[in-house]
Chain A
Amino acid sequence: MSTGSNLEKVLKSGAFAVTSECGPPRGADPEVVKKKGAFLKGYIDAVNVTDNQTSVARMSSLAGSLILKNMGFDPVMQMVCRDRNRIAIQSDILGAASLGVNNLLCLSGDHQSFGDHPGAKNVFDIDSMQLIQTVKRMRDEGKFISGDEVKGRPNIFIGCAENPFGDPFEIRAMRLAKKAAAGAEFVQTQCVFNVDKFEKWMEMVRDLGVHEKMYILAGITPYKSIGMANYMKKSVPGMDVPDEHIERLRSVPKEKVAEEGIAICLEIIERVKNIKGVAGIHIMAIEWEEKVAEIVKAAGLFPRPEI
């Protein structure tokens, strides 16, 4: 069965997919979302809308998804298990589907201690694996978790995330296999900087046949500055930033650092494009949305397919 998702259509057509993301603002102004969206328009197949990322309170991912949908995007609404119990989760799935949001990305969510409300109570009633199962069950069996009937099934393309650079490494491919078995149809990975390690992970993924069960989009993030690269290396859990990248950024004059960052990013894209089983990329240009078009064009991924 097909959903109305453009991302699904592109992936099923066999084209190499490109997605990116848009973090909603810390306020109620829709123009902020529209402005970020304008940078991306025409260059991507679907746009992720983050859900209170890094546990900082923001405009909801559902509202952001709707604003972008109205601009003609195919939104991928992100949903974390940190802030909602199973009642709210199912309610938001139905709400999103009713408004024409066709993709959902199922996440555990960063711990609240990272954000601006470290004193918040977390929920984690169910985890990301069980969230995937929940969407699938509502969609394919028309059942709530309780077993009651869903009248009007949410027709949603189901996504998840996985971190090939998280530990323990040896179960990271197995964990993706679990997510595929739970019902995930696509995955967007954590930012790939260490391509050698990513290749190893993909090999394990292929050994388990997971690349034939779901579409794999490699996460891509351009380095904007040396400070940002260092921050990701040292302070973001589960990120693998090779020293050689930081050295490369350091080796160029200050005004050329951003350019070098984009060059590294393009090299990474070129390599992941050639890895068997990689079906697309997910560009996370953190507070640098204006660079996405340039990256997509320079990577030879423009124009995007019209399906």
Chain B
Amino acid sequence: MIVANRKPFEEIIEMLKPYSKILLLGCNECVTVCATGGAKEVSVLASEIRLFRQKEGQPVEIKELTLERNCDTEYVESLKPAINDYEVAISMACGCGIQFVGEHYRDKLVLPAVDTTFYGVAEEQGVWTERCQGCGACVLDKTLGICPVTRCAKSIFNGPCGGSQGGKCEVNKETPCAWQLIVDRYKEMNMLEKYLEIQPMKNWSTSRDGGPRKRVREDLKL
């Protein structure tokens, strides 16, 4: 899933300062699962803003609206009647959803209420960690299921670097060293001799370095 964090309240309040009629958007997908921007979080944020602005003597009208998805034209278009009644929209969807709504309603600003962080998993209740950066050419077959691009702080392909100690990454004593995990996995699968193979340079053109990416499926087009 895409994981996001709510922005600090002060930052949200600052962005909304000039407005008194606000559409607050949520999304039923990833940001709901990571408990950041679903209907529940939308309602909490709306109450906080109302209360704050009430106290400041600048009351606001907020409409809460959580779409099934913010990354699909079909759902985004369903905003049409509502959005025109508000001065501004602020969204708790991921960065994709925020932009996509903005693209559809060009006379409105769509502000971010969350910081979109990573593609990750829920390791345990309340803990999410990163797994993939969408590099566009997956090497998980070579590294036995552990992504060096994402989980090594240096994205190195022939690790571990000299800073790996006690299973942890040099950057943070809480973060597992990806290359320790990879070596452990080679051992687990009786494939340690594979470690001796030098991994070739990555062609980063399939990742963000190649510019914004696009995927077209002719068979699905209408």
Interface residues, chain A, CB within 8 Å of chain B?
81-82, 86, 108-111, 113-114, 122, 124-130, 133, 145, 161-163, 166-168, 170-171, 174-175, 177-178, 181-182, 190, 237-238
Q: Using a CB-CB cutoff of 8 Å, which residues 140-170 of chain B contact chain A? A: 153-167, 170
CB of A167 within 8 A of CB of B195, answer no
* Known A127-B159, A177-B196, A238-B165: A168·B183 in contact at CB below 8 Å: yes
* Known A111-B163, A167-B160, A190-B162: A182·B198 in contact at CB below 8 Å: yes
Contacts of A108 on B, CB cut-off 8 Å?
154, 156, 161-162
Whether a CB of chain A sits under 8 angstroms from the CB of B171 is yes
CB of B171 within 8 A of CB of A113, answer yes
Give min CB distance, B176 to chain A, whole Å.
11
Listed A/B pairs (23) with beta-carbon separation below 8 Å: A81-B156, A86-B201, A108-B154, A108-B156, A109-B154, A110-B170, A126-B202, A127-B156, A129-B157, A129-B158, A130-B157, A130-B200, A162-B162, A166-B160, A166-B165, A171-B192, A174-B195, A174-B196, A175-B158, A175-B160, A178-B198, A190-B162, A238-B164
CB of A237 within 8 A of CB of B154, answer no
Closest Cβ neighbor of A82 among chain B residues:
B154
Whether a CB of chain A sits under 8 angstroms from the CB of B177 is yes
Instruction: Point out which of A133, A177, A238 has the most chain B C-beta atoms below 10 A from its C-beta.
Output: A238
Contacts of A182 on B, CB cut-off 8 Å?
198
CA distance A202 to B199 in the complex (A): 25
Q: Using a CB-CB cutoff of 8 Å, which residues 181-222 of chain B contact chain A? A: 183-184, 192, 195-196, 198-202, 204
* Known A133-B198, A174-B196, A181-B198: A124·B162 in contact at CB below 8 Å: no
Contacts of B154 on A, CB cut-off 8 Å?
81-82, 108-109, 111, 122, 124, 127
Contacts of B180 on A, CB cut-off 8 Å?
167-168
Contacts of B164 on A, CB cut-off 8 Å?
166-168, 237-238
CA distance A124 to B160 in the complex (A): 14
Contacts of B184 on A, CB cut-off 8 Å?
168
* Known A167-B180, A168-B180: A129·B166 in contact at CB below 8 Å: no
Contacts of A129 on B, CB cut-off 8 Å?
157-158, 198-199
* Known A111-B171, A129-B198: A124·B165 in contact at CB below 8 Å: no
* Known A110-B163, A238-B170: A127·B157 in contact at CB below 8 Å: yes
Question: 5 closest Cβ contacts across the A-B interface?
Answer: A163-B162, A129-B158, A237-B170, A127-B156, A237-B163
Contacts of B161 on A, CB cut-off 8 Å?
108, 128, 166
Contacts of A110 on B, CB cut-off 8 Å?
163, 170
Give min CB distance, A246 to chain B, whole Å.
18
Query: Among the listed B153, B162, B183, B204, which residue makes an inter-chain contact with A171, where contact means beta carbons less than 8 Å apart?
Result: B183
CA distance A237 to B180 in the complex (A): 14
CB of A168 within 8 A of CB of B157, answer no
CA distance A219 to B157 in the complex (A): 25
Query: Among the listed A126, A161, A168, A174, which residue makes an inter-chain contact with B162, where contact means beta carbons less than 8 Å apart?
Result: A161
Give min CB distance, A241 to chain B, whole Å.
12
CB of A178 within 8 A of CB of B196, answer yes
Contacts of A82 on B, CB cut-off 8 Å?
154
CA distance A109 to B153 in the complex (A): 11
CB of B158 within 8 A of CB of A130, answer yes
Contacts of A174 on B, CB cut-off 8 Å?
195-196
Query: Among the listed B153, B158, B171, which residue makes an inter-chain contact with A127, where contact means beta carbons less than 8 Å apart?
Result: B158
Closest Cβ neighbor of A127 among chain B residues:
B156
Contacts of A177 on B, CB cut-off 8 Å?
196
Contacts of B159 on A, CB cut-off 8 Å?
127
Give min CB distance, A26 to chain B, whole Å.
23
Instruction: Point out which of A86, A167, A170 has the most chain B C-beta atoms below 10 A from its C-beta.
Output: A167
Instruction: Point out which of A126, A181, A190 has the most chain B C-beta atoms below 10 A from its C-beta.
Output: A126
CB of B162 within 8 A of CB of A238, answer yes
Binary contact readout B56-99 vs A (1 if CB under 8 angstroms, 0 otherwise): 00000000000000000000000000000000000000000000
Give min CB distance, A48 to chain B, whole Å.
15
